[in-house]
Amino acid sequence: MLLRQLEYLSALARERHFARAAAACHVSQPALSSGIRRLEAELGVQIVRRGRRFEGFTPEGERVVRWAHRIIADQDALRHDLSTLRGGLSGQLRVGAIPTALTVISLLTAPFRERHPLVRISVQSMASREIVHGLAEFELDVGLTYVDGEPLGGVRTVPLYAERYLLLTPADGEFAGRAEVGWAELADTEMCLLSPTMQNRRILDAHFAAAGVAVLPSIEADTVSVLYGHVGTHRWSTVIAHAWLYIFGVPPGMRVIPLARPSRAHHVGLVLAARDPEPMLARAMLDIAREVDVRAELNAVLTRHLSGA
């Protein structure tokens, strides 16, 4: 069994298309197909369901794909381990982050890159469930998501900060001059919020429900930037996590007002697959997370914006 054949199989599992998988491996499509057929002959099982196009994997093939991911990940871990003996880490750190935490990722990746200049960093915007799957399938090294909300399965968690919720609203609107706003007061406010498919929205809906109201926004979106684009017109308000202020701040003519603290806090942090030995790149990111006080950085930004208001 050649490692190259496993790389072909891993690429096919990722791309779900023979031609794209071949392009990702920098080989011709016949070479990729031939390599996978040789792997099938050596293992004595059919791996790929074949038709005019890629039709998925057999049950045996799904198991082989999982082993391929694991073997390739172990190979990468070995290379990273040896690279430290040659004077520094190298390779690619693959990070999956929920959209609402992307605003703070540079607090970790910037110092990481300073310490490990030979490492390339890939950041993907993903749902929390996709992050857990990516860690389990060796497609990610670390994730950034809620660590005490919905079940994460067998992962290691490192909390970084607890979200604070703020109303981002026109400075001359109905809540002008207020030092705090209750969740129930937003029931009749023109709102734009993230879509219910996102965990942040489900958290907000739970807080609204605890206050005895349901908020039906007139605009829903799956990115923070769309929310900011709409509230910038001064026609809508939205609920933001204080971490968003780090990148987006407060648009002109708007202000942020703290919402009443809910009974339960939700923490965002790093998640890693529980493996032994721990991959070197993941361990290096953990070291950075222990040194950077993300909570203090975000609290300072929050204090500055509230003082300005």
Residue 90 confidence (pLDDT) above 90: no
Strand, coil or helix: 158: strand
Number of domains observed in the structure of the chain: 3
Q: Of the given ranges (12-16, 190-194, 254-258, 283-287), which has the lowest mean pLDDT? A: 12-16
State the CB neighbour count (10 A cutoff) for residue 105. Answer: 16
109/72: higher pLDDT? 109
Q: Does some domain include residue 178?
A: yes
242 and 285 fall within a common domain: no
Across 180-217, b (16+ Cβ under 10 Å) vs e yields ebebebbeebbbbbbeeebbbbebbeebbeebeeebeb
Please state whether 153 falls in left (phi above 0), alpha (psi between -120 and 50) or beta.
left
pLDDT tens across 277-302, in order?
677 889 899 999 999 999 999 999 99
Q: Structural domain of residue 94, as residue ranges?
A: 88-162+266-294
239 and 187 fall within a common domain: yes
- What is the C-alpha to C-alpha distance for residues 121 and 287, in angstroms, rounded to an integer? 16
Contacts of 61 (CB under 8 A, 6+ apart): 45, 46, 47, 48, 49
Q: Please answer whether residues 250 and 305 qualify as being in contact, where contact means their C-beta atoms are separated by less than 8 angstroms.
A: yes
72/129: higher pLDDT? 129
157 and 181 fall within a common domain: no
Cα 165 to chain center, whole Å? Answer: 20
- Mean pLDDT across the chain, nearest whole number? 88
Residue 5 confidence (pLDDT) above 90: no
Q: Of the given ranges (63-77, 131-145, 183-197, 213-227), which has the lowest mean pLDDT? A: 63-77
Element spanning 41, H or E: helix 29-43
- DSSP designation for 184: G
Residue 22 confidence (pLDDT) above 80: yes
- The greatest distance separating any two alpha carbons of the chain, rounded to the nearest whole angstrom, comes to 74
181 and 249 fall within a common domain: yes
Given this model, what pLDDT does residue 37 score? 87
173 and 250 fall within a common domain: yes
Q: Please answer whether residues 193 and 203 qualify as being in contact, where contact means their C-beta atoms are separated by less than 8 angstroms.
A: no
192 and 123 fall within a common domain: no
pLDDT tens across 222-268, in order?
899 999 999 999 999 999 999 999 999 999 999 999 999 988 889 99
Residue 53 confidence (pLDDT) above 80: no
Residue of 134, 165, 146, 151 whose CA lies nearest to 239: 165
Q: Does some domain include residue 66?
A: yes
Residue 81 confidence (pLDDT) above 70: no
Backbone torsions φ then ψ of 272, nearest 5 degrees = -135, 150
157 and 34 fall within a common domain: no
Contacts of 99 (CB under 8 A, 6+ apart): 125, 194, 198, 222, 223, 224
Contacts of 277 (CB under 8 A, 6+ apart): 77
155 and 272 fall within a common domain: yes
Structure tokens at 35: 């390599």
pLDDT tens across 99-117, in order?
999 999 999 999 999 999 9
Query: What are the beta bridge partners of residue 122?
Result: 94
Q: Is the pTM of this model over 0.85?
A: no
